[in-house]
Chains A and B, each alone.
Chain A
């Protein structure tokens, strides 16, 4: 069993010299059930790595508790916590062979020789390293090195695997391959895994659940599709998805009995008539500042069956991808990006009628940045 329970976890780096005190993690709570693959994701400096390092025992906990398997581990040494960690830069022992790299922990624990052979052999088999166990890390490619680091973690037979941006140092192709290898490893071992990354695609493709963090706080914890379709706040909405969700600041206005979203801008302001579900949701926010959000794929040239609303816009740039075209339309404060399924080339300056799928659009309170539901 490998449940992880984080309660009121707080980390403050004390002021030293010219540096001011810095509160990296702000009283977060997170429950991770046994066997879950949870991804901590967020921009750099959001506290995700610090949180992971506190779980690992490499960073002192300022306040709050971390329990693994029901046991509070705040004061336990890393080796006694039942965790194994894979580092971004592999952190292999360069003077040891691959075998010794993986066996080091077992040797320190005075494990019998036969058991070491069995466990290292088993890990090597899972990762396809059997034939190069005598080599030193310098003789390996980046992907192989990271595989050794994963092997070193497997050998420890941990309750919880910790990954600290393990794929960031690999090239794009290797990254995709290792991504699926780690996902398969999780399926095979069924062990709890906590995975830190700044890459939202990694987060979306690998996680059972994703925990989005910003400035030391948790923004939302949910499965990938919930996160994508029902973001709790502006930050999550803008962070997940590529190209990102269109977000516009503006006001809710009523004209001739109908509600409109009116972008705050000098000219070319976006003016969206609201209908259906969205209109009902925000009825009592009339006259208030809001943020309107809609994903590029929820904009099309033909009307949607329900909650569809038309606007006219001018093409500023188009990026034909073959199967679809990313079109950038001019609005008051920037661009409206639409992923259009069109077979013709769009020219700059073209004026199009676009239909917005309001059933999939979101409105956020501009002051709290929370979704209005």
Chain B
């Protein structure tokens, strides 16, 4: 076999493998989109609904626009959604964004302390943070419920069935983010902050004006990861949020699937809807994901 033929075969094999892999990831996603545009609530069908199959009824439903529905007996009627999907969407956005911002604030400052300050039991604390993170938050569901109930008795705004309450529970899971940010801080030479100190900066000024701008990429990553995990978080939200109006998309979407009737179409439309802010957040955060932000400051 000629070398060039061999090269070409290799490339072909690699491409086949990669395309297969992409298809594996992409097909479920395309199917969900297809379901959301298909008339009726059918999980199976053409990947690209056409003609009679194509319908915007699920989208009209989740966006709260009146639409006509075909009844099982063949008659038509105009309906308006009875579920506040857009409200859920807004709730999700509110909870995920505020949780992510607070997580950045908490884990950023905690990571600074772990990376730059010397204090008693520093190593022990760092390790125990990681060990605690091993247990999923779901295991503490009962405790969270009881705690929120207790908090609610004193500060109603942070109790059960409130968004601040839910955000509060999310703030418990920041160990992994502390580790990520600390890892990034560790790569930034201490001498840059030391020279800021000689220039007259306080700890806080050195942190805010020197370290933070250099750490934008890791904060963007933490924000995206936290945003994704909290917008799709179901177990805790479903227990904490009890009334329909307070639900997030993840909880609300689940309500379309019950034993007697799987409303696949509405579920799919809701799922796609919750993907939109994640996509938007990705596009927004991308601008911070630039390498070389810290280059030039020191000689490695």
Chain A positions within 8 Å of B, measured between CB atoms, are 17, 56-58, 77-79, 83-85, 87-95, 104-105, 108-109, 136-140, 142, 145, 149, 152, 156, 169
Contacts and interface: CB of A to CB of B under 8 A. Distances in A.
Given A89-B299, A94-B214, A105 B199 contact: yes
B296 A92 contact: yes
Given A89-B189, A91-B195, A93-B210, A109 B296 contact: no
Contact of B297 (A79, A88, A93, A139): A93
Contacts of A87: 191, 194-195, 298
Interface in B104-118: none
B200 A91 contact: no
Contact of B192 (A57, A83, A85, A91): A91
A108 B201 contact: yes
B50 interface: no
A78 B198 contact: yes
B194 A139 contact: no
Nearest to B200: A79
Question: Size class of B's contact patch?
Answer: 20 to 34
Given A91-B189, A95-B214, A142 B299 contact: yes
B171 interface: no
B298 A84 contact: no
B114 to A, nearest CB: 15
A19 to B, nearest CB: 12
Interface string B256-300: 000000000000000000000000000000000000111111111
Contacts of B199: 79, 104-105, 108, 152, 156
Contacts, number: 89
A79 B196 CA distance: 9
Interface of B: 123, 189, 191-192, 194-201, 205, 210, 213-214, 292-300
A330 B169 CA distance: 78
A137 B297 contact: yes
A145 B297 CA distance: 8
B74 to A, nearest CB: 67
A94 B195 contact: no
Given A93-B210, A94-B214, A140-B296, A58 B197 contact: yes
A93 B206 CA distance: 11
B297 A90 contact: yes
A57 B195 CA distance: 11
A142 B300 CA distance: 11
Interface centre among B196, B205, B292, B297 (most CB of A within 10 A): B297
Nearest to B298: A89
A86 to B, nearest CB: 9
A57 B191 CA distance: 13
B214 A145 contact: no
A92 B198 contact: no
Given A87-B191, A89-B189, A89-B191, A94 B198 contact: no
Given A88-B299, A105-B199, 8 more contacts: A79-B197, A85-B198, A89-B300, A91-B192, A93-B196, A93-B210, A136-B296, A139-B296
A95 B293 contact: yes
Interface centre among B199, B205, B213, B294 (most CB of A within 10 A): B199
